[in-house]
Homo-oligomer: A and B are copies of this chain.
Amino acid sequence: MPVNLTVTDPSQLHAVPGVRIGVAMAGVRKANRRDLVLFALEAGSTVAGVFTSNRFCAAPVQLCREHLAGPEGQHIRALLVNTGNANAGTGADGLARARRSCVSLAALMGVKPEQVLPFSTGVIMETLPVERIEAGLPAALAALNASGWADAATGIMTTDTLPKAVSRQVMIGGHQVTITGISKGAGMIRPNMATMLGFIATDAVFAPATAQSLVQALVRDAADQSFNRITIDGDTSTNDSLMLVATHQAGHAPITSLDSADGKALRDAVVAVAQQLAQAIVRDGEGATKFITVQVQGGRDEAECKLAAYAITHSPLVKTAFFASDPNLGRILAAVGYAGITDLDQGLIDLYLDDVHVVTQGGRHTAYREEDGQRVMKQSEITVRVDLHRGPAQTTVWTCDLSHDYVSINADYRS
């Protein structure tokens, strides 16, 4: 039951000139479901990405890094995504199978295998049925069209209950620039570089000499402000990947710096798209019934704010209290206390639930009434604000609650 998440009308998902999308049914794990998504990019496009920090990264992630760092890294022509199998924990055999999918697609497209980036999501530690993916490629190629974003958003879903797609247009140098993106991922979500899978494309124009570095900086910045601030269960996936494609077709004067007026306008739009996609993942978090924003302020640096924010958002006790709409708010204090800020003074802490001042100087506020906490806890969107009162830094993390359905979904995922 996603929290205040609706499916974007396909007519609102603007095509990005230079990007065509084909979706097919390859039967990777189950028959009769769209499980293969192909992005074909015009020659001259720039692609950059951020990937999981998990040391047990999947074979496709290893191959993406290799291809992007190699001689064809600035000439990527295709992104190939399958669901149903993560091709992670599969050793050298998994790497060979991911490579074979690139070779087969490249042959059909008339490009080099190193110009293809592979992505996989699904069950870990099972052999990738690459022959099924190969068999599905002709259908995906035949389906290529510029308006396939809605189908792609559906095609990359696993335990997601709704597809996630966002589109936005901004004016840059008198030209309309489009940013459209999709994401998936409802469990194993504590991205540390990106969500399980996110793809954003724009036709914004960058100067060729600096295009790669600027697009890379932009995707890193966007990830840090969006996918790196969400958590569902604290599990950092083996397959997290966020990709940003720039096709340079919008017609405006090339952007040469992200700090210029045009660069900032684009960055704001890309970050907004990324944040909306990231928040959509939380809203559709496995078993989620509440969308929770945790703001920690008054830290000495952002790192310690993050320690506190993630301690709160990873605590099963805090998350079950939200599920129960129970203002058992001492659990939040306890989480802040064990977050790892070694010289924290509990006597300085303030805690607010939306507009309700719950804790002051580390103890219950005399004006706090249980019914006020109860009123906020019953809402579907809640903001927790903690003030550490020891410095100027702050951070924000988005999460959901922990419900019976989370257990059911993850106990039943493979059956």
Taking beta carbons and an 8 Å cutoff, which residues of A are in contact with B? Answer: 52-57, 86, 88-94, 123-127, 187-188, 190, 192, 233-238, 314-317, 320-321, 323-324, 326, 328-331, 333-339, 341-342, 344-347, 349, 359, 361-364, 402-404, 406-408, 410-415
Contact = CB atoms under 8 A, between A and B. Distances in A.
Q: Give the number of copies in the complex.
A: 2
Shortest 8 CB-CB contacts between residues of A and residues of B: A91-B363, A124-B330, A56-B337, A125-B330, A324-B411, A236-B338, A320-B410, A54-B337
B234 A333 contact: no
A56 B89 contact: no
A411 B236 contact: no
B341 A89 contact: no
Given A56-B362, A410-B321, A315 B234 contact: yes
Contact of A407 (B337, B345, B346, B403): B403
Nearest to A90: B363
Contact of A123 (B54, B93, B187, B330): B330
Contact of A125 (B55, B323, B329): B329
Contacts of A91: 347, 361-364
Nearest to A315: B235
Given A88-B334, A93-B363, A123-B330, 15 more contacts: A52-B338, A55-B336, A125-B329, A125-B330, A126-B364, A188-B317, A233-B315, A234-B314, A234-B315, A234-B316, A236-B337, A316-B406, A324-B411, A324-B412, A326-B413
A114 B362 CA distance: 25
B411 A326 contact: yes
A197 to B, nearest CB: 15
Contacts of A412: 324
A402 B407 contact: yes
A404 B411 CA distance: 10
Contacts of A342: 55
Contacts of A123: 328, 330
Contacts of A338: 52-56, 190, 192, 235-236
B93 A127 contact: no
Nearest to A362: B91
B317 A233 contact: yes
Contacts of A88: 330, 333-334
A315 B188 CA distance: 9
A402 to B, nearest CB: 6
A125 B316 CA distance: 18
A116 to B, nearest CB: 23
A82 to B, nearest CB: 16
B188 A237 contact: no
Nearest to A330: B124
Contacts of A89: 330, 333-334, 346, 359, 362-364
The interface centre, meaning the residue of A123, A234, A349, A361 with most chain B CB atoms within 10 A of its CB, is: A234
B55 A363 contact: no
Contacts of A234: 314-316
A287 to B, nearest CB: 9
